[in-house]
Amino acid sequence: MRKTFLSFSPPLIEEDEIKEVIDTLKSNWITTGPKTKKFEEEFRIYFNCSSSLALNSCTAALHTALVALGIGPGDEVITTPMTFCASVNVIEQVGAKPVLVDIEADTLNIDPLKIEKAITPRTKAILPVHYSGHPVELDAINEIARRHNLFVIEDAAHALSAKYKGKFIGSTNNPVCFSFYATKNLTTAEGGMLTGEPEFIEKARIVSLHGMSRDAWKRYSKEGSWYYEVVFPGFKYNMTDIQASLGLWQLKKLERFQNRRREIVKMYNKAFSNEEALELPVERPYVEHAWHLYVIRLNLNALKIGRNEFIDELNKRNIGTSVHFIPIHLHPYYRDKYRFRPEDFPIAYSNYLRVISLPLCPKLTDQDVNDVIEAVLDVVKSYKR
Ligand SMILES: *Cc1c(COP(=O)(O)O)cnc(C)c1O
C-alpha cells in the first residue's frame, strides 16, 4: 500500500512560472498589463478563437457573458444539473431562471433531445457544460439555438484542448468560458478566459471592468490618457499580470500536459477494462476529450458497498479522490426554491450515486498511477458481491 497520501489534483508549477512571476513582481506593473495582453493573445492564437478576454475566474466569465448578452429578470436559461454550482449561480445572479435538463447516460453531458421540450417563450440561452472535458453535442445544440433564436454560452471549465469534430472548443463563435483554477488543465491559481466574436468580447471587456469605456492600463501607459467614461455599472473581473505570468508558461506546456493526461487515461483504461464492477468513461469517435477528469462509475449491483464507502476505502489506502458533481437540484437553495426532488433528473441523480473522480494530472508519476490502480482493484476485490 502507498505510504503517503496522494492528493486529488496538485498543480504542476515549474521554474519558468516562478521566474516569470518574480519578474512581474519586480517590474512596475503587477495588475492587468502587458503580460495579461500577451496571454490573452497567445491563448487566442493557440485555440484559434476569434477574440479573447482574460478574467479572474471562469465564474466571472460566465457572469460577464450573461450580462453582456442582456440576459436578466424574466428570462430563462437552460442548463445541466451535472455541473459545478457556479454555472447555475450566475444565472440566479442576473435574475434569470435556470431551467435544468437531464443528461445523456454515457457522456453525462446535457441531452440535446431533452432541451427542446424545456424551451418556452422566455428562454434566452442554453448553457451547456463540457462535463469532465468531453465536448457536448454542439451541432445539435447550436441547431436548436438557431431555430429558436437563443444564445449558446459554453461552460468550458473542463474543456481546455478538447475538440469537437476537429475544432477546438472556443474556436467557434459562441461565447465560451474557460477556468484556470488551481486544479484545471492549465492554471493561473485563479483565472479564466472568455472567448467569442470580437463585438461581443469588446462589450464583455467593458462589462468586466467597471463599465469603463477604456482599459485602465491603457489610461496609465504612454499611449493612454486620464480620460474614461462609465457606460455601464460593471464588475471588477480583470486578470492580473501575476496570474498571466503563470498562464504564459502553462500555455507553452499545455500539449505536454495533455499528452501526459492521455497516457494516464490509457493506463487506467487498460487496468480497469475487464472489471465488471467499474464502468469506464467514454470518448465519442468524433471528439477529442480534454481529460480534465477521469470519472469511473461503480456498478453498485456488483459491490457490497456504496460510492461513499468506496471513497473511504480509497482514502484508507492513501488515495485522494473527488465527486463531480453533487447535482444542482440537490443543493438546498435550488431544491427549496424550485421544489426539486432527486428523481426529477433521474440520470443525473442515479449517476451521482456512483461516480468517483480518480487522480488525473500531469504531475502524477507512473508509480502514483499504479498506486491508484492497485488501491481501486483492491477495494473492488474486497467488496465484490
Ligand atoms: C471549476 C468550474 C467552474 C468555475 O471556475 P472558476 O474559475 O473557479 O470560477 C465553472 N464550471 C465548472 C464546470 C467548473 O468545473
Q: pLDDT-based confidence at 297, cuts 50/70/90?
A: very high
Residue 327: CATH number of its domain: 3.90.1150.10
H or E element at residue 370? helix 366-382
Q: Is the CB of 109 under 6 A from ligand 1?
A: no
Q: Is 384 a catalytic residue?
A: no
Query: Which residue has cell 466574436?
Result: 197
> Residue 127 carries which side chain, given as an amino acid letter?
L
- CA 74 to ligand 1 center in whole angstroms: 25
pLDDT digits (tens, 9 = 90+) for 149-169: 999 999 999 999 999 999 999
Q: Which of 184, 218, 222, 266 is catalytic?
A: 184
Which grid cell sits at 134?
468531453
Tens of pLDDT, residues 180-201: 999 999 999 999 999 999 999 9
Q: Do residue 260 and residue 240 come from a single domain?
A: no
Domain boundary among 230, 252, 274: 252
Which of 9, 58, 176 is the best mutation target for the ligand 1 pocket, counting ligand atoms within 8 Å of the beta carbon and taking the most? 58
Last residue of a domain, one of 252, 275, 294: 252
- What does the pLDDT read at residue 290? 98
Amino acid letter at 268? Y
182 and 305 belong to one structural domain:
no
Number of the ligand 1 atom closest to the C-alpha atom of 83: 13
Report, as an integer, the average pLDDT of 43-49.
98
Q: Look up the domain containing 287 and give its range.
A: 254-383
Q: Are residues 375 and 352 in the same domain?
A: yes
Confidence of residue 217 (pLDDT cuts 50, 70, 90): low
Quick check: is 52 in a domain?
Answer: yes
Which residue among 229, 252, 275 closes a domain? 252
Please report the pLDDT score of residue 226 as a whole number.
82
Question: What pLDDT is attached to residue 222?
Answer: 67
The ligand 1 atom at the shortest distance from the C-alpha of residue 155 is 11
What is the average per-residue pLDDT within 256-267? 98
Its sign, for the CA torsion 35, 37, 40, 43, is negative
Q: How far is CA 163 from CA 126, 156, 169, 284, in A?
A: 20, 11, 6, 11
pTM higher than 0.95: yes
